[in-house]
Amino acid sequence: MDDADLRLDGNAAAGLLAEVFTFDVTGAQAVCNGCGNVYPVGTLATYGHTMGMILRCPGCDTALIRMTHVRSGYYLDLRGTSVLYIAASA
């Protein structure tokens, strides 16, 4: 089994992300710290593990978002994302 067998798109992370964000974050725009490209969160390569998820840039494979759920709360690491743009709802 290789990485391609485990990779999903960012929409697979929607359930876990919805536990923290009160809106659909898959439409937010993430700017990659690695290559500077901008992608909707829903298009990021997502790797799910029993401890959480890692969302990676489809262009350069930088880990943009790491998230895990523990008994006491959530850990959300956005250090691979220079900007997370969330449009105001109409």
What's the confidence (pLDDT) of residue 11? 80
Q: What is the pLDDT of residue 48?
A: 86
- pTM higher than 0.95: no
Structural domain boundaries, residue 11:
3-85
Total tally of structural domains belonging to the chain: 1
Residue 48 falls inside a structural domain: yes
Q: How far apart are CA 64 and CA 39, in angstroms?
A: 11
All residue ranges of the chain with pLDDT < 70 are 1-5, 90
- The pLDDT value given to residue 1: 60
Q: Is 4 exposed, middle or buried (0-12, 13-18, 19+ CB in 10 A)?
A: exposed
Residue 88, pLDDT score: 82
pLDDT digit string, tens, across residues 19-36: 878 788 899 999 999 999
Domain-located, residue 7: yes
The reply to whether 90 falls in a domain is no
